[in-house]
Structure 1
């Protein structure tokens, strides 16, 4: 069975393994997610509410920018994974009783808002579309 314009089979094509450059880009975005997570954790508590908004805007910019730069949803998932891992590790208290996040509304908004932004940016990211050009309605 072939496509009417002769482009080939309508069956799904196997995925090619990612190139070394793409893997390096995802690793760089993961590391940037770590940096933005640490910076956001420090800023959101220092200048409330402006610091919270700045931290969330920085996270959203990184997530969506990673998606746009790589042209895939994985570009948003890589920095979001680094951000989430970092923020979750920073919320854990140490045996000495030290912690970075206080038990306040701002820290919970940072945690939940950042996670929601990561899901939103990964969903809005450019995914693979079958057929390349998209669906055309009418002539």
Structure 2
């Protein structure tokens, strides 16, 4: 069972905000400098997910950061009533969305190092 202390709750809130920031930045970078921007956006997303896994030691850390990331890219993908959106049509945005989801699943299913006393 995970003990939810105020410090842990603050860590999860920070991971959610980081997920929102990385998702927003990745959405803008991947379309601006294709294909290097796509690689940079995926590396940033993977770094966030892996760092969240290591920082919390649980899968919940990865899921919270990936939830913020997914929320950001979905909101940017919806666009505005005028039809403007952050994503362009093409292979780049699709690879960013699918690649980010694959990275999140990979980081959430990593084996955890042995804990002292196990």
Q: CA deviation at 1:17?
A: 3.8
Runs of 4+ that moved beyond 2 A: 125-129
Superposition TM-score, scaled by structure 1 size? 0.78
Q: CA deviation at 1:93?
A: 2.7
More helix by share: 2
Larger CA Rg, structure 1 vs 2: 1
The counterpart of 2:40, out of the listed 31, 41, 54, is 54
Unaligned runs of 5+ in 1: 1-14, 134-139
Give me the whole-angstrom Cα distance separating, in 2, the residues matched to 1:126 and 1:89: 32
Give me the whole-angstrom Cα distance separating, in 2, the residues matched to 1:128 and 1:16: 16
Cα root mean square deviation, aligned:
1.8
Unaligned runs of 5+ in 2: none
Which residue of 2 is the match for residue 4 of structure 1?
none
The counterpart of 1:89, out of the listed 59, 75, 80, is 75
SS of 1:126's partner is coil
Superposition TM-score, scaled by structure 2 size? 0.92
- The alignment of Structure 1 onto Structure 2 pairs a total of residues equal to 117
Q: CA deviation at 1:126?
A: 2.9
Q: Which has the higher contact order (CA 8 A, sep 6+)?
A: 2
